[in-house]
Amino acid sequence: MPSLDNIFGIHATALKLREQRMAILGSNIANASTPGYKARDIEFPQALQLAESGQSPEAAMRYRVPVQPSLDGNTVELATEQTAFAANALAYRSSLSFLQGRIGTLSRALKGE
């Protein structure tokens, strides 16, 4: 029988990481016109592994390699960041629906419907 902590499986950790990544990508978009700002992102699969084993996911943080760096040293490329942000939001939503499904299953089992 699974312990109560494992009911949500990987999705609880994933949701938290997706929220962190959303903030990082949001920071990149916020700094799109700051001279010298270096865009960052987390390597999601590695961050998830680290978080699952109880380590800090910050070790999976990487600087973005720009396609074409600008003269003021800023490495934010809006197209890249916006697509990454959209994909991340979609992944967040899918984690949410997995959680929703699990909660639904559990509550149906508890009510005995």
Partner 1 sequence: MANGMSIFEISGRAMAAQLVRMNTSASNLANAGTVSGSEDTAFRAMKPVFRTVMGEAGRATVQVDRIDTSTAKPVKRHDPNHPLADQDGNIWEAAVDSTAEMVEMLEISRQYQNNVQVLATAKGLISETLRLGQ
What's the distance, CA 22 to chain centroid? Answer: 6
The residue within the footprint of partner 1, chosen from 6, 55, 94, 100 (CB under 8 A), is: 100
| By the rule CB under 8 A, 22 interacts with partner 1 | yes
The residue within the footprint of partner 1, chosen from 20, 46, 49, 80 (CB under 8 A), is: 20
Q: How many residues bind partner 1 (CB under 8 A)?
A: 32
**CA distance to 4, 13, 57, 76, 87, per residue, from 65 (Å):** 41, 27, 20, 9, 19
Instruction: Kindly give, in sequence order, each residue whose CB lies less than 8 Å from that of residue 38, ignoring residues fewer than 6 positions away.
Output: 63, 64, 73, 74, 75
DSSP 8-state secondary structure symbol assigned to residue 42: E
Q: Which is nearer to partner 1, 35 or 69 (CB)?
A: 35
Residues that bind partner 1 (CB under 8 A): 15, 19-20, 22-24, 26-27, 29-37, 40, 42, 58, 61, 78, 82, 85, 89, 92-93, 96, 99-100, 103, 107
